[in-house]
Copies of this chain bind each other. A is one copy, B any other.
Amino acid sequence: MNINHSEKIIKAIQELSQYDLLKGLCHEQQESSPMPSAKVLEEIVTLCRAVLFPGYFGNASISKQNLSFHIGVDVERIHHILTSQILSGLCFDKHSENIMEDGYTDFPIRNKDDIRLLRERAECISADYIAALPNLRSILATDVLASFNGDPAAESIDEVIYCYPGIRAISNYRIAHKMLELGVPMIPRMITEMAHSETGIDIHPAATIGTHFAIDHGTGVVIGATAIIGNNVKLYQGVTLGAKSFPLDDQGHPIKGIPRHPILKDNVIVYSNATILGRITIGENATVGGNIWVTEDVAPNARVIQSKAKK
């Protein structure tokens, strides 16, 4: 290699390797607890889908005779790899030991007893998650039905389960939300981001969403962390349920955890590209038209639309 190039490269390597300057941009993994892995979470979500909608996803050719074999093997595998991922999440999470004061901190030295306790907690959470799967299936069944009934282009239930990006995003959200309820850090967010990347639908795993939920087309939908959505709600592509502004603390940082996203009551419909901001309430049966910006409450049964376009 040209000597001049070689020197440039060696200099760059030295600069990039200055450990002490890296504070906060470098993650020192602990041998026995690597980062949660997007690839493994992908497998977990795929297995959950195979268990929730047997025969649609997964390689298996399902029949009455073999259903329990496949469910058994898949559920076991979920438990096994989910346990290790939850452990990674727990180790990753600085909250779990209350040592995070600011974003940039030194890496915690964990002793081996800590790891062992975290491992037991991970296994316990994983089992609780498995136990929640049957209920998850019941709720997702209502979402599938809502999408099928609400879309004249839907040819069959099969098509809805197998092809609809809305169902994919809602599945990931419901899988992730349950994990978040069980106290798993980091991973729920990764799972909803996977769906975000695939479908353009960005649902924060902390959002609260009722049954019979439908999202049509979906690209650009954003549902914030403290949003609350009732039953039988339908959103179109590009809808934002966002925060209007948020109070800052003394250092000018946003205060975390304050309710700041909208509440949508039962049977609300929001058309494409509408933006609903702040902790406001859209009343039962209300309809929000497309391309508008809503920052105030909407009464039950009301219908808000954009002011007339100029020709």
In the complex, residue of chain B having the shortest beta-carbon distance to the beta carbon of A79: B9
In the complex, residue of chain B having the shortest beta-carbon distance to the beta carbon of A206: B153
Q: Is the CB of B100 within 8 A of A24?
A: no
List, in ascending order, chain B residues with CB within 8 A of A94's CB: 156, 158
Partner of A70, one of B64, B73, B243, B274: B73
Do A56 and B27 contact each other (CB < 8 Å), given the known contacts A134-B16, A153-B256, A197-B165? Answer: yes
Is A237's beta carbon under 8 Å from chain B?
A: yes
Q: Is the CB of B311 within 8 A of A292?
A: no
Return the CB mask of A123-166 against B: 1 if under 8 Å, else 0: 11011101101100100110011001111110111110111010
Do A73 and B75 contact each other (CB < 8 Å), given the known contacts A127-B9, A153-B225? Answer: no
Do A61 and B80 contact each other (CB < 8 Å), given the known contacts A152-B254, A309-B305, A310-B304? Answer: yes
List, in ascending order, chain B residues with CB within 8 A of A151's CB: 254
Q: Is the CB of A193 within 8 A of B165?
A: yes
Return the CB mask of A253-295 against B: 1 if under 8 Å, else 0: 1111110100000000001111101000000000001111110
List, in ascending order, chain B residues with CB within 8 A of A123's CB: 1-2, 5
Partner of A306, one of B13, B16, B254, B309: B309
Bin chain A's interface residue count.
35 or more
Q: Which A residues between 219 and 251 are near B, CB-CB below 8 angstroms?
A: 219-220, 222, 224-225, 236-238, 240, 242-243, 246
Do A27 and B62 contact each other (CB < 8 Å), given the known contacts A9-B75, A294-B309? Answer: yes
Is A98's beta carbon under 8 Å from chain B?
A: no
Q: Is the CB of B277 within 8 A of A290?
A: yes
Do A293 and B309 contact each other (CB < 8 Å), given the known contacts A25-B144, A65-B10, A131-B8? Answer: yes
List, in ascending order, chain B residues with CB within 8 A of A44's CB: none
Chain A positions near chain B (C-beta within 8 angstroms): 1-2, 4-6, 8-17, 19, 22, 24-31, 34-35, 51-56, 60-73, 75-76, 79-80, 92-95, 100, 103-104, 112, 116, 123-124, 126-128, 130-131, 133-134, 137, 140-141, 144-145, 148-153, 155-159, 161-163, 165, 185-186, 189-190, 193, 196-200, 202, 204, 206, 217, 219-220, 222, 224-225, 236-238, 240, 242-243, 246, 252-258, 260, 271-275, 277, 289-294, 298, 302-311
- Beyond A8-B130, A275-B290: 8 further Cβ-contacts under 8 Å? A2-B123, A13-B75, A22-B54, A25-B54, A68-B69, A153-B224, A304-B310, A307-B310
Instruction: Please name 19 pairs of A and B residues whose Cβ atoms are closer than 8 Å in the assembled complex, sorted by A.
Output: A11-B131, A13-B72, A15-B134, A17-B72, A24-B141, A25-B137, A25-B144, A26-B55, A35-B162, A68-B72, A103-B156, A116-B116, A163-B186, A165-B196, A202-B219, A273-B291, A274-B291, A304-B309, A306-B310
